[in-house]
Amino acid sequence: MSRSDLHPPVEPYESGLLAVDRLHRIYWEQCGNPAGIPVVFLHGGPGSGSTPTHRRFFDPAAYRAVLFDQRGAGRSTPVGALEDNTTPHLVADLERLRESLGIERWLVFGGSWGSTLALAYGQAHPERCLGFVLRGIFLCRPSEIDWFLNGMCTIFPEASRAFAEFLPLDERGDLLGNYYRRLVDPEPRVHMPAARAWSTYEGSCSTLLPSPDTIAAFGEDRMALGLARLEAHYMINGGFLPPGGLLGGIDRIRHLPAVIVQGRYDVVCPAVTADALARAWPEAEYQVVPDAGHSAMEPGTRQRLLAALDRMRRRFS
């Protein structure tokens, strides 16, 4: 699919690794205008990492864009590490990164798991947020986790069958538990095939039309390990979210401007979740893209996200 509507490729003007504890070091980079509107990009997964294409959502003349890889993901080290890897840890990392870069407040941009983390961060630190641009909403509720594991077969039976049939027949009654057992096994010969099966499953269901490039990217070893291991870790622990989940804390951020962009045919994170968020947050601008699936790179979704960022630029310039 064409990506000509994104901003031109840009290289970071600064990057580094931030030691957030004795184990984890998170990769970060800044690109665009050092004097521009600060915006932080929160990638999906958890565990997928940021890419050079993600920089292109942000007008380099207007935005000071901060991209980083969450614990255990992308270029952060150690990849796939689960120790001290919870939502409160990720929220604390965001604050530490913001402080280290000398940013007072920033716009928070996140999709899929990135929307989960954006809401968790915003509810913990509303005073540090200018606003939100959210896409492909995931609230990590039990119904959403069950849909990912068992429900997507109604739309993608082939991919779901391959996902389930990776496991022996007598283990398919507990897909999450038995994948997780393999994914946390220290032996690469055990965890890597499971990681590729999990990640390829998600990639196969992420676009409205078939995308071999997306599937190939999800099957790459480092991406697959970080994504599969961390997703299973967060799912089996309910996202490490407080009682009442993220909808229960919306009042803390309802005063902040927000745009919610949702693909109508998003199978990974169905529109019912974005609808629930929009009903709890009526002040937010809610847009359903009529011809899009889950990926941020769907043409209609890209255009809505770019337009949302342009409106935020005019608001905060």
Q: In this model, does residue 86 exceed pLDDT 90? A: yes
- What's the whole-number mean pLDDT along residues 274-298? 97
**Cα–Cα dist 309/7, whole Å:** 12
Whole-number pLDDT of residue 139: 98
- What's the whole-number mean pLDDT along residues 245-267? 97
Whole-number pLDDT of residue 224: 94
- 50-82: per-residue pLDDT in tens? 999 999 999 999 999 999 999 999 999 999 999
Q: In this model, does residue 1 exceed pLDDT 60? A: no
- What's the whole-number mean pLDDT along residues 153-158? 97
- 106-131: per-residue pLDDT in tens? 999 999 999 999 999 999 999 999 99
Give yes or no: 112 in active site: yes
Whole-number pLDDT of residue 123: 98
Q: In this model, does residue 2 exceed pLDDT 50? A: no
Q: Regarding beta strands 63-68 and 37-42, do their DSSP bridges make them parallel or antiparallel, or are they unpaired?
A: parallel
Whole-number pLDDT of residue 243: 83
For the record, the structure tokens of 29 come out as 């980079």
Instruction: Map tokens 């049939």 to a residue.
Output: 165
User: Alpha carbon of 117 to those of 17, 123, 237, 274, 279: distances in Å?
Assistant: 20, 10, 15, 15, 19
For the record, the structure tokens of 168 come out as 């022996």
- 210-236: per-residue pLDDT in tens? 899 899 999 888 899 999 999 999 999
Catalytic pick among 24, 43, 54, 294:
294
Mean pLDDT of the chain: 96
At residue 268's C-alpha, the angle toward residues 117 and 233, to 5°, is 50
C-beta of residue 208 within 8 angstroms of C-beta of residue 223: no
Predicted model pTM: 0.96
Whole-number pLDDT of residue 231: 98
Confidence of residue 27 (pLDDT cuts 50, 70, 90): very high
- What's the whole-number mean pLDDT along residues 169-193? 97
C-beta of residue 194 within 8 angstroms of C-beta of residue 233: no
Whole-number pLDDT of residue 6: 97
Catalytic pick among 59, 69, 93, 266:
266
- What's the whole-number mean pLDDT along residues 89-105? 98
Name the architecture of domain 14-140+240-316.
Answer: 3-Layer(aba) Sandwich (3.40)
User: Alpha carbon of 147 to those of 24, 27, 203, 274, 301: distances in Å?
Assistant: 31, 32, 15, 15, 22
C-beta of residue 38 within 8 angstroms of C-beta of residue 105: yes
Confidence of residue 3 (pLDDT cuts 50, 70, 90): low
Give yes or no: 294 in active site: yes
CA atoms within 13 A on the CB side of 269: 29
Residues of the chain within CATH 3.40.50.1820 domain(s) are 14-140+240-316
Q: In this model, does residue 151 exceed pLDDT 60? A: yes
From the list 170, 174, 278, 184, the residue with the least C-alpha distance to 234 is: 184
Q: In this model, does residue 245 exceed pLDDT 90? A: yes
> Quick one: what percent of the chain has pLDDT higher than 70?
99
Catalytic pick among 48, 50, 112, 206:
112
- What's the whole-number mean pLDDT along residues 168-187? 98
User: Alpha carbon of 23 to those of 38, 83, 84, 158, 253: distances in Å?
Assistant: 28, 8, 9, 39, 32
